[in-house]
């Protein structure tokens, strides 16, 4: 006969021994087994035991003020921490900074996937995530202090490629959380916002001979739970603890929201509109990078605003927003509910989401930035004397097909306003973000350049782009002076060619008609034809070609214009500020070849971006097309004029000879 596994929190916590390795679930402020954390804290304060625990966790799980894993700060309770985020347990982070405990700050996705390795009895995990960042053993190996000496990350070579090998740490105790449990420990999660890694954590502890303690809000009769509703089977669970309602909130700011749990769908058309401030300016500019029909991840902070902007602009149905915590689709939640989503299409386990991310499934991500340097390196993990941790940042930023870093230009007292479609800086921030060298490298600019990964950096006053030569200033907000408001507040001088003005629509408190831009509905307005000179002008300034569908839309617009002209035309194309995804150069060159063969008499183009010119010239040469790509408009027009004069001269010579 199966035993009843329901016991008190005190009885469950009494099973933990000194020196045990404990893992717990939770994401930011959601899905935290608060009753178990509280009981562990209470036992230690009362008895001084268990001592010297190792805590393993993925994302931060707390309110940054002492709840969640923040309860485990007491001297002697923890001896080692392996975590992606330390920011939500500041006293534990301080202990690590002061060399009172050993600690490792590893990528969230790596820790999440290591649970599966532990469950399967494997020695660890091979991953490229973390190469050339502070996690790389050549740059620190993820150790957070001098006290931490053991290497748990190694560089290995497989078939001529570098990989990181992360050593798995066997787990003795797993704290998990669900909604309902039957007396035999079968766990369902119908009222939870996320499923996270509870199944993998339970397997990891169980297969190591450890114990699994599940916190739930209610006990149901045996046989009540449908098999497909059970997310953790009772064979993996040793103890079930029923928590008081206050200890089982959906998150610290919400007792329960059925829309976040996927129990109902709610209308979102009337969501509150963001005020037009610095945060919205950043979110609006970043939203221009959204890939139609693409999969997107948004980080915490300034990037969260993109979800609201997308909803305002009616773009949400054309993109799929995701969170590393496992939410797919819907409108991403913010604040205490960050990581969840209203009206999500589905919720998958966190480790599965990181499989998708690491394999290149993300078309775009927008993440925050605390520091950035002239190499394009970004720091979000350790700055200003604080150990924050990388969270999922490294997995996401290294593997997304395009990356947008977003945040204010300075921080600490920054006060800006939008007046008459212009940015006004009322008070500058006390601290600079664009510095000579980042304190810790959470994102490697050189590694991104090596892999030709598109990266831009969006602030309220300007935009930078990572180019082969370094960080280039490409856009400036209206009302901003480049020397007074930008260069004077940076520790280095970026590359400056011909920065353009940020789209004026961003600074007007009215809809931007972003959907038309993303779906190329206004593309025809970029084409004009001068019948007297038989010249077709195509202005692609600021246009972002993200997909083969974009190329198909452009081809159709050009073919329609040429057929309307009724004869072969001379074509001039402005590529200033034009962006072409790395994988599309050959497809773009194929379109040019097709137009030359069927519609163009001759064509020329210009772009101030040297890298774009080089890549385009290479792509055209491969197709046997003359690579006429100039730096200046005047040179392009002069070439076209010279070509036309030569052709006229040749025709006159032929006529005279006849």
User: What is the distance between the alpha carbons of residues 338 and 297, in angstroms, rounded to a whole number?
Assistant: 12
Element (H, E) at 82: strand 78-83
User: What's the half-sphere exposure (Cβ side, CA atoms, 13 Å) at 539?
Assistant: 8
Active-site position among 324, 371, 460, 472: 324
The residues facing 251 across adjacent strands are 30, 254
Q: What pLDDT is stored for residue 307 in this prediction?
A: 85
Q: What pLDDT is stored for residue 135 in this prediction?
A: 98
Q: What pLDDT is stored for residue 277 in this prediction?
A: 95
CA end-to-end span of the chain, whole Å? 108
Instruction: Note if 654 is an active site residue.
Output: no
Average pLDDT, the chain: 93
- Please state, as a whole number, how many other Cβ atoms lie within 10 Å of the Cβ of residue 168: 20
* Dihedral pair phi/psi, residue 643, rounded to 5°: -65, -40
Nearest to 397 by CA among 435, 367, 431, 440: 367
Q: What pLDDT is stored for residue 270 in this prediction?
A: 64
pLDDT higher than 60, residue 658:
no
User: What is the distance between the alpha carbons of residues 25 and 27, in angstroms, rounded to a whole number?
Assistant: 7
User: What is the distance between the alpha carbons of residues 309 and 527, in angstroms, rounded to a whole number?
Assistant: 29
Give the CA distances from residue 289 to residues 293, 477, 544, 580, in Å, rounded to whole numbers and listed in that order: 12, 17, 8, 12
Choice among 261-270, 508-517, 603-612, 647-656 with the minimum mean pLDDT: 647-656
pLDDT higher than 90, residue 29:
yes
Answer whether 240's CB lies under 8 Å from 214's CB: yes
Q: What pLDDT is stored for residue 651 in this prediction?
A: 58
- Hey, is 244 helix, strand or coil? coil
Tokens of 289: 């990078």
* Dihedral pair phi/psi, residue 286, rounded to 5°: -65, -30
- Residue count of the chain, please give it: 658
The residues facing 432 across adjacent strands are 410
Q: What pLDDT is stored for residue 265 in this prediction?
A: 85
Task: Using DSSP bridges, classify how beta strands 629-630 and 600-606 pair: parallel, antiparallel or unpaired.
Answer: parallel
Q: What pLDDT is stored for residue 429 in this prediction?
A: 96
CB-count burial class (<10 Å; 0-12, 13-18, 19+) for 295: buried
Q: What pLDDT is stored for residue 612 in this prediction?
A: 83
Question: What pTM does this model have?
Answer: 0.90
pLDDT higher than 70, residue 269:
no
Tokens of 459: 């602030």
């Amino acid at each position: 006969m199966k035993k009843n596994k329901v016991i008190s929190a005190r009885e469950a916590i009494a099973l933990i021994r000194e020196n045990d390795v404990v893992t717990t679930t939770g994401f930011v402020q959601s899905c935290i087994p608060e009753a178990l954390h509280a009981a562990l804290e209470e036992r230690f304060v009362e008895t001084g035991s268990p001592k010297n625990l190792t805590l393993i966790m993925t994302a931060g799980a707390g309110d940054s003020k002492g709840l969640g894993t923040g309860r485990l700060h007491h001297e002697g309770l923890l001896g080692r921490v392996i975590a992606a985020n330390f920011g939500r347990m500041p006293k534990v982070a301080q202990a690590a900074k002061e060399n009172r405990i050993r600690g490792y700050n590893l990528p969230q996705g790596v820790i999440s996937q290591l649970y599966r390795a532990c469950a399967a009895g494997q020695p660890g995990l091979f991953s490229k995530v973390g190469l050339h960042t502070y996690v790389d053993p050549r740059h620190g190996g993820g150790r957070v202090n001098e006290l931490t000496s053991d290497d748990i990350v190694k560089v290995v070579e497989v078939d001529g490629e570098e990989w990181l090998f992360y050593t798995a740490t066997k787990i003795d105790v797993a704290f998990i959380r669900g909604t309902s449990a039957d007396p035999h420990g079968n766990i369902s999660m119908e009222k939870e916002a996320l499923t996270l890694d509870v199944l993998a954590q339970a397997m990891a502890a169980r297969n190591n001979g450890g114990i699994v303690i599940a916190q739930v809000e209610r006990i149901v009769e045996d046989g009540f739970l449908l098999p497909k509703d059970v997310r953790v089977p009772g064979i993996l669970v040793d103890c079930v603890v029923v928590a008081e309602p206050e200890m089982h909130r959906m998150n610290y700011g919400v007792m329960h929201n059925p829309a976040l749990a996927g129990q109902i769908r709610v209308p979102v058309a009337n969501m509150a509109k963001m005020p037009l401030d610095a945060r919205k300016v950043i979110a609006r500019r970043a939203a221009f990078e959204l890939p139609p029909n693409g999969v997107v991840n948004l980080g915490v902070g300034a990037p969260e605003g993109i979800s609201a902007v997308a909803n305002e602009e009616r773009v949400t149905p054309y993109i799929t927003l995701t969170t590393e915590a496992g939410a797919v689709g819907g409108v991403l939640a913010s604040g205490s509910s960050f990581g969840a989503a209203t009206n999500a299409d589905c919720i998958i386990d966190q480790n599965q989401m990181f499989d998708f991310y690491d394999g290149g499934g993300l078309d775009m991500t927008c993440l925050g930035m605390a520091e950035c340097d002239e190499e394009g390196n970004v720091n979000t993990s350790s700055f200003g004397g604080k150990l924050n941790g990388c969270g999922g940042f490294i997995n996401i930023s290294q593997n997304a097909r395009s990356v947008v870093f977003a945040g204010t230009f300075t921080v600490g007292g920054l006060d800006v306003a939008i007046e008459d479609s212009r940015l006004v800086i009322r008070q500058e921030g006390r601290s600079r973000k664009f510095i000579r060298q980042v304190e810790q490298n959470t994102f490697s600019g050189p590694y991104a350049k090596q892999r030709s990964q598109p990266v831009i950096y969006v602030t309220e006053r300007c935009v930078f782009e990572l180019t082969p030569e370094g960080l280039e200033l490409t856009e400036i907000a209206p009302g901003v002076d480049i020397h007074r408001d930008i260069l004077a507040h940076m520790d280095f001088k970026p590359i400056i060619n011909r920065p353009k003005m940020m789209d004026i629509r961003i600074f007007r408190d009215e809809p931007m008609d972003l959907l038309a831009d993303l779906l190329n509905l206004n593309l025809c307005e970029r084409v004009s034809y001068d019948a007297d000179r038989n010249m077709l002008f195509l202005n692609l300034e600021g246009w972002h070609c993200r997909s083969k569908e974009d190329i198909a839309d452009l081809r159709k617009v050009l073919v329609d214009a040429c057929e309307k002209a009724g004869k072969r035309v001379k074509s001039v194309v402005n590529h200033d500020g034009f962006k072409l995804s790395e994988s599309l150069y050959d497809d773009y060159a194929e379109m040019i070849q097709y137009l030359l063969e069927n519609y163009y008499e001759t064509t020329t183009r210009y772009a101030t971006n040297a890298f774009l010119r080089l890549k385009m010239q290479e792509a055209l040469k491969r197709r046997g097309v003359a690579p006429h790509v100039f730096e200046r408009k005047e040179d392009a027009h002069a070439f076209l004029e010279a070509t036309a004069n030569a052709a006229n001269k040749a025709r006159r010579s032929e006529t005279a000879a006849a």
